Structure 1
Amino acid sequence: MTADRATVLAPRLEGLLHDHLGQDLFRLEKDTVGVAGPAMTDTLMRSRPAGPAERPTFKPIFGRAVTQPESAAGMRALGQDVRAALSSAQSAAPDLTGRWPRTGHRYLRDLVLGRDPYRLRLLSGRGMQLLPHVTWTSFAAGVAALPQGPARSGISHLAALTTGRSGYRDRRHAMVLYRRLSVPVALLVSTMVTSALWLGAPFDDDTPDEHILLETLRLLPPSWNLLRLASPEYPALDARIRPGDDLLFLNFLSQRDPALWDEPGRFRPDRWQELDPDTHPGYLPFGHVQERCWGRHLAMPLASMLLRQLRESGYTVDPGQRRARVPLDGLLGVSAVSVVRR
């Protein structure tokens, strides 16, 4: 982490570091237990699979389940769109100076979903995440914007899944699923790359993009916790957990634990020359090995592509900016970073 930049964490994150860093299991609220120890995390996670309400992307929509065939079709469609975007992306992107992650988000959204109807693309926006009431209003008002006939040529594979829906509930369901699936394309990747720029740019030429991103995910994982609802398996494994307790698995703490990392507070991409992100204790930016987020297979290639474009074109953080905040906005990351070209 560059010495001349101050990263201001949200008060709740600072409180977690101050009160619970290095602890394996602790009480956060009267009905919520925090878990940060790698061994304890592994034991509890393996005790049962995540339920439908605990899977952020595919949890029920307005009480209606997202079926396995539906989720598989969505994953395949988005994978096709991302691969097409990666193959078409130019080494030199359009002007990417400005305020990040907003600038990066717009670029990625248009790269992957640029031919979709505007009201659909709007659903993957950062503003929708920050203002949930706007999101639900858009779902209600924008149902009529969905294509109603056969899938037309030119739109994304993901958008094609929303076509041909009849009835308000079916069309609203399709819009919500489009948003959930499209978020990793633009919002997660732009947040990740913004954090990377803030933590370490300008980078040494011989530092691999992969190492920069892995280290960014260690210090500022977009998915910084995993919620599991109360379940009888948990009290049976540890008496400190009560029958009605929900569990909050906090990789934000385990990924900064001095017992697991050398110089845990420093941004050191070089550490990944020797460490394995799939096996290192406490490193869970995309979840536990039992059920890692499928989106990582799309997010990481897109993030590598975008970071490479920025590095090759000489982009860096405005030298005049000395402070940046890390708010609690769902996806964890640095906000409002001014990016300039050297």
Structure 2
Amino acid sequence: MSHRILSARPATESERPTFKPLQGRSIVRAQALQQMQAIGRDVRAALKRPIRANIDFSGPWPHVGHLFLRDMLLGEDPHRLRFLMNRILELTPMLTWAVIAMGAARPLKLREGASSLAAFSAAAPNYDERRYAMGLYRRTAAPICFTISTLVANALWLGLPFDDHTSNRNILYEALRLLPPSWNILRNASPEYPVLDDRIKANDDILLLPLLSHRDPGLWDDPNAFRPERWDRLDPEDHLGYLPFGHVSERCWGRHMVMPLAEAMLDIVRDSNLVVDPHQRKAHVRLTGLLGVSQVSLVRKRG
């Protein structure tokens, strides 16, 4: 049924959180694609650069991973732009827009090495356009930093220490199954849906829950267990009910950035002799925004 609902029609702009209207202006597909291509270039450039030695990944996750990604991808951007990645702005949209309004007051000057994404804000000709461009900068870059650091934190909590023979990719696929950052998919009422099932009425909005389909015992063996090895024989692109990046009809555009960056971060963790703090026995997962463990404390393994 989930497959049929998501195949029935494309998502509208209000149903796609990253590119819903901004400041009352629709973000057309061409503009959204332009933004994603820019951050994609920044990701590819960052992955080509050697990662500095002796990175300290100990401390509270996902915060540690978030700062690493911000500096890796956007480290040469003006402070006004990089501050838009601050997690404190998640508290309220009013705070976010207050910071953007102050940051847009003066033109932006870019130094060598600034991100491709930052160029859109620097090219804005006036205050209103700069404010809009900075809003797009946050809309595009923040989900990359937030989602990947949350995904890695989830993997660390669910599975660390990892078996030496288990691939990073399998670890991440399994973390995406048990704690999918995008744990719900909204579809507003639409005439296509009552045709699919007479229990759906014409004015019914629909909330699909990958959080549930990812744990459905009819679709998974031992569904509540963290078993990365299951992905040796499963295909994440077409396994029924597996929707960490949305439905096949409209996958998340950022998914090709998520996996390489998350794998690179897991490599650092696995090479650093880090473990979850033995004193941490519980972790909170809030059903708001991204579905992730609020804090995982990593420490150096003793002995």
The residue type paired with residue 329 of structure 1 is T
TM-score by length of 1: 0.85
Contact 2:77 2:111 in 1 (8 A): no
Once the two structures are TM-superposed, the CA of residue 92 in structure 1 deviates from its matched residue by 4.1
User: C-alpha distance in 2, partners of 1:93/1:180?
Assistant: 31
Q: Deviations over 1:6-60 (max 9, x none)?
A: xxxxxxxxxxxxxxxxxxxxxxxxxxxxxxxxxx011111111111111211111
Once the two structures are TM-superposed, the CA of residue 169 in structure 1 deviates from its matched residue by 2.5
Once the two structures are TM-superposed, the CA of residue 328 in structure 1 deviates from its matched residue by 2.5
User: C-alpha distance in 1, partners of 2:34/2:263?
Assistant: 25
Once the two structures are TM-superposed, the CA of residue 267 in structure 1 deviates from its matched residue by 0.5
Q: How does 1:1-342 map to 2 (within 5 A)?
A: 40-90=1-51, 92=53, 94-147=55-108, 152-342=111-301
SS at structure 2 position matched to 1:242: coil
Once the two structures are TM-superposed, the CA of residue 108 in structure 1 deviates from its matched residue by 0.9
Contact 2:15 2:186 in 1 (8 A): yes
User: C-alpha distance in 1, partners of 2:128/2:17?
Assistant: 20
SS at structure 1 position matched to 2:141: helix
SS at structure 2 position matched to 1:190: helix
Q: Deviations over 1:202-233 (max 9, x none)?
A: 11111100000000000000000111111111
Q: Unaligned stretches of 5+ in structure 2?
A: none
Once the two structures are TM-superposed, the CA of residue 68 in structure 1 deviates from its matched residue by 2.7
SS at structure 2 position matched to 1:81: helix
The residue type paired with residue 244 of structure 1 is N
Query: Residue 41 and residue 211 in structure 1: after superposition, are their counterparts in 2 closer, same or farther (change >3 A)?
Result: same
The residue type paired with residue 315 of structure 1 is L
SS at structure 2 position matched to 1:290: helix
The residue type paired with residue 103 of structure 2 is G
Once the two structures are TM-superposed, the CA of residue 332 in structure 1 deviates from its matched residue by 0.8
Q: Deviations over 1:69-93 (max 9, x none)?
A: 3222211111111011111142745
The residue type paired with residue 146 of structure 2 is L
User: C-alpha distance in 1, partners of 2:46/2:111?
Assistant: 19
User: C-alpha distance in 1, partners of 2:163/2:73?
Assistant: 29
User: C-alpha distance in 1, partners of 2:57/2:102?
Assistant: 32
Query: Residue 329 and residue 126 in structure 1: after superposition, are their counterparts in 2 closer, same or farther (change >3 A)?
Result: farther
Query: Residue 244 and residue 146 in structure 1: after superposition, are their counterparts in 2 closer, same or farther (change >3 A)?
Result: farther
Once the two structures are TM-superposed, the CA of residue 282 in structure 1 deviates from its matched residue by 0.5
Q: After alignment, is 317-326 or 131-140 more displaced?
A: 131-140
Percent of pairs identical after alignment?
Answer: 54
Higher RCO, 1 vs 2 (CA within 8 Å, ≥6 residues apart):
1
User: C-alpha distance in 1, partners of 2:175/2:207?
Assistant: 22
Query: Residue 166 and residue 285 in structure 1: after superposition, are their counterparts in 2 closer, same or farther (change >3 A)?
Result: same
User: C-alpha distance in 1, partners of 2:203/2:64?
Assistant: 43
SS at structure 2 position matched to 1:252: helix
Contact 1:130 1:329 in 2 (8 A): no
Query: Residue 203 and residue 44 in structure 1: after superposition, are their counterparts in 2 closer, same or farther (change >3 A)?
Result: same
Q: After alignment, is 133-142 or 283-292 more displaced?
A: 133-142
Contact 1:91 1:309 in 2 (8 A): no
Contact 2:106 2:127 in 1 (8 A): no
Contact 1:125 1:187 in 2 (8 A): no
Contact 2:148 2:262 in 1 (8 A): yes
User: C-alpha distance in 2, partners of 1:44/1:68?
Assistant: 22
Contact 2:77 2:115 in 1 (8 A): yes
The residue type paired with residue 71 of structure 1 is A
Structure having the larger proportion of residues in strand: 1
SS at structure 1 position matched to 2:293: coil
SS at structure 1 position matched to 2:275: strand
User: C-alpha distance in 2, partners of 1:92/1:255?
Assistant: 37
Contact 2:170 2:228 in 1 (8 A): yes
Once the two structures are TM-superposed, the CA of residue 127 in structure 1 deviates from its matched residue by 2.0
